[in-house]
């Protein structure tokens, strides 16, 4: 028994080593792909009459895009945000923001508008899948720490409503991007609009066309799927503000109250392929409940209290940008921020937080150059990248490794994990 577990463990380690090597070689391969097949710098002289001129264009009205636009606006710098959708993409349930994220929201003057709606998390309880408690952690002892969930809808609405009218151009999907001889970047939209801009900030999310143009590969599926939702309790939800985790073998779940009437939950399970997207929301709920039917009842009641159409299934993916090997995420006056630059798994709950931190660092570096200071724009963008590259890379890798342990199906790995969780000081 022990031998077979060890053998299995070895095969997992070998598999993991191979996946790390595959990541390395794919990034390396991508570098040469980047060098050889990157769209060449255009020598085409544009018909200037039909080209709109802008100083700063942000592509994507998600968290990174809107927070960058708002940080610039607060410093008196105008930008235009291009969003492919007809309105803000306010689906996406809820996420937990940690202290750094709230500090960035404070710097933009919007944190208190959100704090008043969401509960500060006071602790975490980690359980086995049967509900046996492994550990309870207090998160309220350090007064400087702030872990507080926020609904994506509320965050995007709040950022957008603090921007000047017409800052966001909806139904503006980027179709093509090219460098021009004068150093500007030409953006071509699906609706035919052409915009020439000095600075382009790619905040276009995990499947970023701008990252692709720079030579990044598509993010890689990491082997598990997450389904999440926000349960509605119009008469008040019954829980203390704690995160409740449940660890199983190749499966896990969590729920946490986010406001006096709402509870966010998610479940994760291994799947060899990202699978087909289940389009019928009632079918998604039925299958999810069936898969987790033996798990604690609070989780199943939260699923029952969730409007079907707010449930989301996401096959998780990430991309490791090896320093010095992968494309840098900066090309001329075009730079990436948020998931477009560093798609990461949500195991540490840091993607949105990093998007906010990117936006803050980017604007702090860029603003002096745009206001005619000594720094030139390209140096300012380099300095932003230098500041954010290492924390983003580290979190992406750590998040992936934490996910690998939490999703393990190996009995011995799970037993060690539970023991470590239970005894860690
Ligand atoms: C299951 C799950 C749980 C998570 N939990 C947490 C958590 O607890 N805490 C946390 O901090 N993070 C969490 N995250 C991560 C977080 O949701 C992301 O990191 C964050 O949303 C990234 O924001 P973004 O602005 O970079 O990208 P997005 O929010 O994806 O925005 C990209 C925008 O670009 C637009 N766009 C794309 N292509 C184009 C184009 N061609 N032209 C114009 N517009 C375009 C899109 O329509 C979209 O509006 C979680 C993620 C997942 C999947």
Strands 80-82 and 168-169: parallel
Q: Whose CA is nearest to atom 39 of ligand 1?
A: 204
CA of 58 to the centre of ligand 1 (A): 14
Residue 425's pLDDT is what? 59
Segments of the chain scoring below 70 in pLDDT: 1-49, 277-278, 424-425
CA of 311 to the centre of ligand 1 (A): 16
- Give the predicted TM-score (pTM) of the model: 0.89
Residue 49's pLDDT is what? 65
CA of 272 to the centre of ligand 1 (A): 24
Helical residues (DSSP H) of 165-280, grouped into ranges: 209-214
Atom of ligand 1 nearest to the CA of 65: 25
At a CB cut-off of 8 Å and minimum separation 6, what does 210 contact?
59, 174, 177, 200, 202, 204, 334, 336, 340
CA of 63 to the centre of ligand 1 (A): 7
CA of 93 to the centre of ligand 1 (A): 12
CA of 128 to the centre of ligand 1 (A): 30
> Measured between alpha carbons, how far is 203 from 159 in angstroms, rounded to an integer?
15
Give, in degrees to the nearest 5, the angle at Cα 140 between 138 and 141: 85
CA of 421 to the centre of ligand 1 (A): 30
At a CB cut-off of 8 Å and minimum separation 6, what does 70 contact?
108, 110, 159, 162, 163
Q: What spatial distance separates the first Cα and last Cα of the chain, rounded to whole Å?
A: 31
Residue 92's pLDDT is what? 74
Ligand 1 pocket: which of 85, 352, 354, 395 to mutate (most atoms within 8 A of CB): 352
Judge whether 167 and 81 are in contact, CB under 8 Å: yes
| Element spanning 136, H or E | strand 133-138
Residue 280's pLDDT is what? 86
At a CB cut-off of 8 Å and minimum separation 6, what does 131 contact?
246, 296
Residue 47's pLDDT is what? 57
Judge whether 227 and 212 are in contact, CB under 8 Å: no
Provide residues with CB under 6 Å of ligand 1: 59-65, 82-85, 89, 95-97, 173-174, 203-205, 209, 226, 228, 314, 338-340, 346, 349-353, 355
Judge whether 424 and 135 are in contact, CB under 8 Å: yes
> Measured between alpha carbons, how far is 34 from 56 in angstroms, rounded to an integer?
25
User: Which tokens go with 241?
Assistant: 């503000």
Residue 89's pLDDT is what? 86
Ligand 1 pocket: which of 58, 66, 84 to mutate (most atoms within 8 A of CB): 84
């Amino acid at each position: 028994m022990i031998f077979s577990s060890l053998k299995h463990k070895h095969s997992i380690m070998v598999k993991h080593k191979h996946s790390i090597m595959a990541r390395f070689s794919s990034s390396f391969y991508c570098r040469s792909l980047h060098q050889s097949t990157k769209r060449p710098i255009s020598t085409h002289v544009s018909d200037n009459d039909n080209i709109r001129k802008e100083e700063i264009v942000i592509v994507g009205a998600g968290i990174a895009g809107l927070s960058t636009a708002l940080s610039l606006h607060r410093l008196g710098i105008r930008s235009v945000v291009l969003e492919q959708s007809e309105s803000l993409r306010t689906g996406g349930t809820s996420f937990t923001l940690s202290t750094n994220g709230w500090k960035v929201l404070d710097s933009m003057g919007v944190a208190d508008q959100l704090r008043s709606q969401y509960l500060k998390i006071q602790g975490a309880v980690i359980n086995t899948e049967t509900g046996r408690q492994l550990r309870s952690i207090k998160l309220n002892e350090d007064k400087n720490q702030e872990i507080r969930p926020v609904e994506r809808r509320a965050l995007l609405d709040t950022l957008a409503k603090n921007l000047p009218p017409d800052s966001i151009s909806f139904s503006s999907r980027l179709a093509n991007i090219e460098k021009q001889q004068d150093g500007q970047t030409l953006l071509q939209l699906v609706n035919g609009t052409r915009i020439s801009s000095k600075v382009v900030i790619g905040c276009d999310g995990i499947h970023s066309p701008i990252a692709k143009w720079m030579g990044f590969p598509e993010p890689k599926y990491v082997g598990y799927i997450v389904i999440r939702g926000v349960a509605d309790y119009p008469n008040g939800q019954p829980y203390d503000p704690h995160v409740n985790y449940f660890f199983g073998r190749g499966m896990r779940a969590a729920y946490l109250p986010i406001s006096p009437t709402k509870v966010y939950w998610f479940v994760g399970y291994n799947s060899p392929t990202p699978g087909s997207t289940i389009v019928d929301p009632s079918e998604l709920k039925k299958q999810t409940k069936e898969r987790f039917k033996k798990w604690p009842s609070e989780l199943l009641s939260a699923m029952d209290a969730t409007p079907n159409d707010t449930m989301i299934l996401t096959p998780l993916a990430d991309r490791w940008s090896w320093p010095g090997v992968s494309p840098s995420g900066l090309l001329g006056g075009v730079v990436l921020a948020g998931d477009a630059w560093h798609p990461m798994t949500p195991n540490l709950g840091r993607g949105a937080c990093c998007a906010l931190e990117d936006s803050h660092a980017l604007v702090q570096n860029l603003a002096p150059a745009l206001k005619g200071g000594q720094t030139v724009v390209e140096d300012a963008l380099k300095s932003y990248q230098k500041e954010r590259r290492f924390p983003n890379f580290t979190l992406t890798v750590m998040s992936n490794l934490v996910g690998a342990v939490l999703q393990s199906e190996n009995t011995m790995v799970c037993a060690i994990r539970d023991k470590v969780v239970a005894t860690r000081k």
